[in-house]
Amino acid sequence: MVEDSNGLRSIFLEELWNSPPRIMEPTCPIYDAPSNSDMVRHRIILSCDQVEKLKKWAGTKCKSIGLETLHLSTFVVTCSLIWVCKVKSKDPDTEVTDPKDDDSYCLTFLADCRNRSKLSVPSTYFGNCLTICHVELQKEKLVGENGILEAVSAIGGEVRGLRGDPLKGFEWIVSGRRRRELGRQSQHVMIIAGSPKLNVYETDFGWGRPKMSEILHADDAGAMCLSDCRNQERGGIEVGLALSAIQMKKFNAILDEQLGDIDIVVPHRILYTI
C-alpha cells in the first residue's frame, strides 16, 4: 500500500525470525489488587481556557530563552507539564538506577500516520497505521528551571517531524537492541496511553455516555492516560495517573507549584485508591 523506502519489511522479518518462540498464554497472572496496596489513581481535568493559557505561556517563554516551539498543541503542553511533575516527584532514595545509566528519561507515544503526505495511505484503508515516537531528555533538563519548556520543545519537535518522514528512524526503534535498552531504562520510561481525539466520552452503546473512562494497564505500565473531558467544553483534556500514595502527594504539590508559577488556577482533580 505504501512505498517501503526505509526497507522496514526485511527488518521486521529478520526481527521476527530471530525472536524466541512465544507461548500464546498470558505473560502475567490475572489477580485483584491487594487490599493493602498503596497505589492511588489521580485524574486531572484541564479546561480549554487553562490549556490555551498554558500554550501561550510556553510559546512566550520558549521564545524568550531561545528554544524552538515547532508544534504547540494540547497534547504537547499537557504531556510536558505532567512528565516534568512526575520526574520531579520521584524519590531518589528508592529509585533503582543502572551504573551505566546517564540519567536520561524517555517519553514514548504512538502517532497515526494515515494522513501523512509521505505515506499517502488511501482514505478507504480500514485499520491501524501507527508509528512510535520517542523523546529523550537528560534528567537535569527536565528538573531544571526550564524543564517544562525543554519538554515542550523536544516533544513538539518530534510531533512536527511526522510531517516529513513519519517512519524516519523506525527501524532503530523496533530493533532488538533498542528494546533491550528501553528495558534497562524501564524506571525512566513514561508511556502515553489514549488520546483526546478518540472522543471516548462520546461513545454511546444505547445506555448513555460513560461517566468515567479508565485504562487499566496504567497501574503497572506507569503510563500517562489522556482522553477528552465528559463535562467540559471541547478543547479540554483529562489526564490519568497511577502512583504510590507518597509519590502522588509530592506530585500534587509540584503540579500546584508549577501551575501557580504560570498563574493557572489549580485544575479539578479526582483522587482515589486502587
Sign of torsion over alpha carbons 126, 214, 80, 189:
negative
Range of the domain at 67: 38-273
Residue 18 lies in a domain: no
Give the chain's domain count. 1
What is the pLDDT averaged over residues 235-255? 91
Assign residue 188 the CATH number of its domain: 3.30.559.10
pLDDT of 57 reads 96
What is the pLDDT averaged over residues 33-58? 84
C-alpha cell at position 96? 533503582
Q: Can you list the alpha helix ranges (DSSP code H) found in the chain?
A: 8-18, 48-65, 74-89, 139-142, 147-161, 170-173, 176-184, 218-221, 245-261
Residue 229 lies in a domain: yes
The pTM of the whole model exceeds 0.85: no
pLDDT of 180 reads 53
At residue 177, what are phi and psi to the nearest 5 degrees? -65, -40
Q: For the chain, percent helix, then strand, then coil, each to nearest 5?
A: 40, 20, 45
pLDDT of 81 reads 96
